[in-house]
Structure 1
Amino acid sequence: MEIIILPDPNAVARTAADIIQARLEKGRTVLGLATGSTPLGTYEELIRRHCDAGLSFADAEAFTLDEYLGLPPDHPESYRSVIRREFTDNVDLRDTAVHSIDGQAKDPEAEATRFDTAIQAAGGVDIQILGIGTDGHIGFNEPMSSLASRTRIKTLTKQTRLDNARFFPSLDDVPYHVLTQGLGTIREARHLLLIGLGQAKARAVAAAAEGPVTAACPASALQLHPHATVLIDTPAASQLEQTDYYRYAHANKPAWQAY
């Protein structure tokens, strides 16, 4: 796990965009896209590079991480709608190449299997963008999720519903259930790119990076991955114990070594 501490969210967004751009420039790329506030700066930077510098997504394909169960696909807060509004509709990524989980599937378990199969058929995800929740969740893998889990139905914690209530008219409108890529599914991506911003994420970042690998902190599963990059701003790094080493390692990274 490579941990890179940067001064502010703008620097995090630029570095994340650098990593994604470098992969896009190699040719066909399969992206794993997270929603939520954390990756917004990265998406805005990628959109800017597309508009101002011609960065192309024409050869890319994308899979979203999760979806609320029961929301129609055109609901403004369905993640199918959100990822298009906030990112993919603003670049040259074909809409048919953006794959979302169907939150209204009549058979959610079959839909979960279909989605995992579709990722595999596409050749797997090259870069999976991840945020981290205050309790260490990634995707909608709440604490105590199996580290080997596949895409499946999950029940949201009370805290996650409270955190997401700001996007809905009221807490009562926030669904209780979701379909989410599992930790096992996520870990099959070739490169995991986790972004953490702000003091509120500091405890979760420390647990994920320096604590034990445990279902109590789902993001700690990144410790088992051969290519995981953690981009965090200074406040999010405030509870890490090895910050001097992380900064030293990044400052002395060989020029030939890619992210």
Structure 2
Amino acid sequence: MQLIVTEDYREMSQKAAQIVADQIRNKPDAVIGFATGSTPLGLYAELIGMYDRGELDFSRITTFNLDEYVGLSREHPQSYYRFMWENLFSKINVQNERIHFPPGIFTDAEAVCSRYEEEIAEAGGIDLQILGIGTNGHIGFNEPDETYTLATHVVELAEETIEANARFFHDKAEVPRRAITMGVKSIMNARSILLLANGKSKAEAVSHICTGVVDPKVPASILQLHPHVTLLVDREAARLIEMKGEAAWSHSR
């Protein structure tokens, strides 16, 4: 695992954009796994800027998003499809037929979860998976539990996650209680992973990725077993790692 600590959110977003851009330049038909939430917004703004300046071509990439709220259609203003469309996809030249999301509305959960796994496999697997991290250590919507769920699945959201996401809704009662998400194996099968975290609220969760202990109660801790993970965080999110004096990580400032 490579740890890159930046001074602030802006620098984190710029470095993240460079990593994604390098992946696409090296493999124009790359399969990219995208994440939603406030953390990657700066990254997406940087990618849009690269496209506008003619520095990056998205026309051949294929995308897979980590998750979606159960019960929300693509047209719902708080759906993750809508989030990605408004904050990235509508502003670059990605092809609509190459954009993939787990559906939020379905009748057969097992069938749609299996089909999403098949679509990823048919695309050749994910080359670069972008991740955020919840304050409770979740990745995607893989919440703390006694065991890991490996494949795409429907999950009951933790109260902490509902609280964190309530800011995107008019009222906490509107936040869906379930989501469909890639499982831990789905994420770990990506050839490389880029995890972003900023702010002091993420410091404790980030520190658990660097302990050497893998615990499903801190889902992101499993990333320590992946051979190609870049942990890109600002100084506030890294503060507990630095306090522990972790020596096994590569720092870049």
TM-score w.r.t. length of structure 2: 0.95
Contact 2:129 2:192 in 1 (8 A): yes
Does residue 2 of structure 1 match 2:5? no
* Partner residue in 2 for 1:127: 128
Shift of the alpha carbon at 1:166? 1.1
Task: Report Cα offsets for 1:95-143 as digits up to 9, x if no partner.
Answer: 2211011110111221011001100100000100000000100000000
* Partner residue in 2 for 1:46: 47
* Partner residue in 1 for 2:21: 21
**90-99 or 207-216, which deviates more:** 207-216
Change (3 A) 1:145 1:125: farther
Distance of 1:211 and 1:136 partners within structure 2: 15
Q: How does 1:76-155 map to 2 (within 5 A)?
A: 76-144=77-145, 146-147=147-148, 149-155=150-156
AA matched with 2:109: P
Shift of the alpha carbon at 1:53? 3.3
AA matched with 2:19: I
Distance of 2:62 and 2:120 partners within structure 1: 10
Partner secondary structure for residue 212 of structure 1: coil
Q: How does 1:189-200 map to 2 (within 5 A)?
A: 189-200=190-201
* Partner residue in 2 for 1:257: none
Give the gaps of 5 or more residues in structure 1.
253-259
Partner secondary structure for residue 53 of structure 2: helix
* Partner residue in 2 for 1:256: none
Distance of 2:62 and 2:159 partners within structure 1: 33
CA RMSD of aligned residues (A): 1.5
Distance of 1:145 and 1:228 partners within structure 2: 24
Distance of 2:56 and 2:70 partners within structure 1: 34
Distance of 1:251 and 1:99 partners within structure 2: 33
* Partner residue in 2 for 1:35: 36
Partner secondary structure for residue 73 of structure 1: coil
* Partner residue in 1 for 2:12: 12
Change (3 A) 1:175 1:148: closer
Runs of 4+ in 1 over 4 A off after TM superposition: none
Partner secondary structure for residue 114 of structure 1: helix
Contact 1:102 1:111 in 2 (8 A): yes
**50-59 or 154-163, which deviates more:** 50-59
Distance of 2:248 and 2:230 partners within structure 1: 15
Partner secondary structure for residue 163 of structure 1: helix
Task: Report Cα offsets for 1:164-199 as digits up to 9, x if no partner.
Answer: 111112111111111000011100000010001000
Shift of the alpha carbon at 1:10? 1.0
Partner secondary structure for residue 3 of structure 1: strand
AA matched with 1:122: A
Give the gaps of 5 or more residues in structure 2.
none
Partner secondary structure for residue 195 of structure 1: strand
Partner secondary structure for residue 16 of structure 2: helix
Change (3 A) 1:23 1:145: farther
Contact 1:147 1:221 in 2 (8 A): no
Contact 1:213 1:220 in 2 (8 A): yes
AA matched with 1:28: D
Shift of the alpha carbon at 1:73? 1.4
Contact 2:68 2:103 in 1 (8 A): yes
